[in-house]
Amino acid sequence: MLKTSNLITRRDWLANTAAIACGSVAHQAIANSAKPVKTKSVAAIVSIYEQGTHADVLIGKILEGWKQDGGAGPALKLASLYVDQFTDKDMSRKMAARYNVPIFDSIENAVTVGSDRIPVDGVISIGEHGDYPFNEKEQQLYPRRRFFKEITDTFKKYGRVVPVFNDKHLGPVWSDAKWIYNRAQKMNVPFMAGSSLPLTYRKPELKVPMGSEIEAAVGIGYSGLDIYGIHALESYQCLVERRRGAEKGVKWAQCLQGDEMWNTLDSGIVPKDVFNTALAAVPKRGNVNVREDSDAALFLFKYNDGFLGVQFMLQSVNRTSVALKLKGQKPIATQFEERPEPSHPHFAYLLKAIEGMIHTGRPSYPVERTFLTGGILDRALTSRVLNGKKLMTPELSIQYQPVDYPHAPVPELTSYDTRSSVE
């Protein structure tokens, strides 16, 4: 039997969800404790480690502080590192030497830190960036399933489970995502995944109480349909999951382009006022008319409760936004900011959520959000190669109870809250 000492099972976590949703977060018990906080150790499994990659802006904050300037940082210590691909711009060897962190040639050795047991308190898996192939749906086939399999195989071998964070969506292909999720469930792995954007600053601040009567919502995203589609969908989902009665999953999904996409606006399927509000919230690339954006796409999906999901991916804009139409109100929108300085601060808030889970053994928010959004994305990309065919998605009847986890506060432009989430 696998030991999960000081951790809770998925069933225990679900039993505590109501308390979390009422305004606490997974790490508040530690935050309110009078006892000194003990630093927890983590193993990092990464695809590549170059400046500006996700490994740099997450693991670098463990090594060098929230601002990566040697200042205050999380109550985490990097115990070991596995790097799948060493590139010409590799930073891992330099950083490992500077901070006395061993680099191992296998995931098992990284998780065990070269010993005959699992001494670390958590694992951060970052299968993002690097030289990996693409499939016919233009999904880059990152080794996230392989990483998770070898991590959890090590848990089985040595009889101990610790929390795991998986960067971005689980797959990216659905079969991999489902395999990862099912294994995490079966082994009672405290598990989180996802984008940094649900944790980032919002401009302007948008208050959407849990249980809100949301009549319509439109998301605007940009860049590659797979690589940035997950960021856009997670930003969308972190708001629409706050609607009354959510979340019960998605009934069907499709991807539309060209005239079929814009006809959804002209026919009233997608409310123009909500779309225009979302579009006004993002910066544009020059003076391009969005309807002349030949690479634009629309992910259209219907939730099981009847709510229509609307996510535009536009190459004529340069940021992510979501507009909501609340009952009896005019549409409102917010931009999910991506500030490069200091040191991509939205990743600091993602790391705070990871830190909370590693200290408490409780996910800071449900992994099912990412499981669902990744599934929507995969099905939309499948629809795209099938010329916009609507795909029924009984496999996406994914239910979860959203929690009121805080995102980054509105700060001064040159600084952000650097307090540890467990201080």
Which CATH number does the domain housing residue 289 bear?
A: 3.30.360
Model pLDDT for residues 63-89, shown as the tens digit of each residue: 999 999 999 999 999 999 999 999 999
User: Does residue 41 sit in the same domain as residue 127?
Assistant: yes
Report pLDDT for 16. 36
The answer on 68 and 172 residing in a single domain is: yes
Please count the structural domains in the chain: 2
Q: Assess whether 193 and 65 both reside in one domain.
A: yes
Are 183 and 283 members of one domain?
no
Give pLDDT tens digits for 38-60.
Answer: 999 999 999 999 999 999 999 99
98 in a structural domain = yes
Q: In this structure, is residue 27 part of a structural domain?
A: yes
For the chain, percent of residues with pLDDT exceeding 70? 88
Q: 62-96 burial, b if ≥16 CB within 10 A, otherwise e?
A: bbbbbbbeeeebbbbbbbbbbbbeebeeebbeebb
Question: By the 8 A CB rule, do 249 and 396 touch?
Answer: yes
36, exposed or middle or buried, with CB in 10 Å at 0-12, 13-18, 19+? exposed
- Please give the mean pLDDT across all residues of the chain: 89
Domain boundary, last residue among 284, 316, 336: 336
If asked whether residues 23 and 93 sit together in one domain, one would say yes
Residue 72 resides in a domain? yes
282 and 147 both lie in a single domain: no
Please tell me the predicted confidence (pLDDT) of residue 6.
36
Per DSSP, the three-state class of 325 is strand
The whole-number pLDDT of residue 35 equals 57
Domain check: are 271 and 171 in the same one? no
Cβ contact 39:121 at 8 Å: no
Pairing of strands 250-256, 297-303: antiparallel
Residue 220 and residue 189 share a domain: no
Residue 33 has pLDDT above 80, yes or no: no
Q: What is the pLDDT at residue 20?
A: 30
| In a domain? residue 67 | yes
Boundary of a domain, candidates 336, 352, 375: 336
**Looking at residues 133-140, what average pLDDT do you find?**
96
Amino acid code (one letter) for 9: T
Q: Tell whether 37 and 66 lie within a shared domain.
A: yes
Q: For 297-353, what is each residue's pLDDT tens digit? A: 999 999 999 999 999 999 999 999 999 999 999 999 999 999 888 888 999 999 999
- Specify whether 25 is located in the same domain as 168: yes
Q: Is residue 413 part of a domain?
A: no
- Does residue 36 sit within a domain? yes
Over the stretch 225-274, which tens digit does the pLDDT of each residue have? 999 999 999 999 999 999 999 899 999 999 999 999 999 999 999 999 99
In this prediction, residue 411 carries a pLDDT of 57
* CATH (domain of 177): 3.40.50.720
User: Between 311 and 8, where is the model more confident?
Assistant: 311
> What's the whole-number mean pLDDT along residues 180-184?
98
Query: In terms of domains, do 130 and 255 share one?
Result: no
Residue 220 lies in a domain: yes
Distance CA 96, CA 94 (A): 6
Asked if residue 166 belongs to a domain, the reply is: yes
Looking at residue 311, its pLDDT comes to 98
Q: Is 229 found in the same domain as 313? A: yes
Dihedral pair phi/psi, residue 210, rounded to 5°: -60, 140
| Domain carrying residue 186 | 10-198+344-364
- Of residues 2 and 133, which shows the higher confidence score? 133
Return phi, psi of residue 104, to 5°: -110, 155
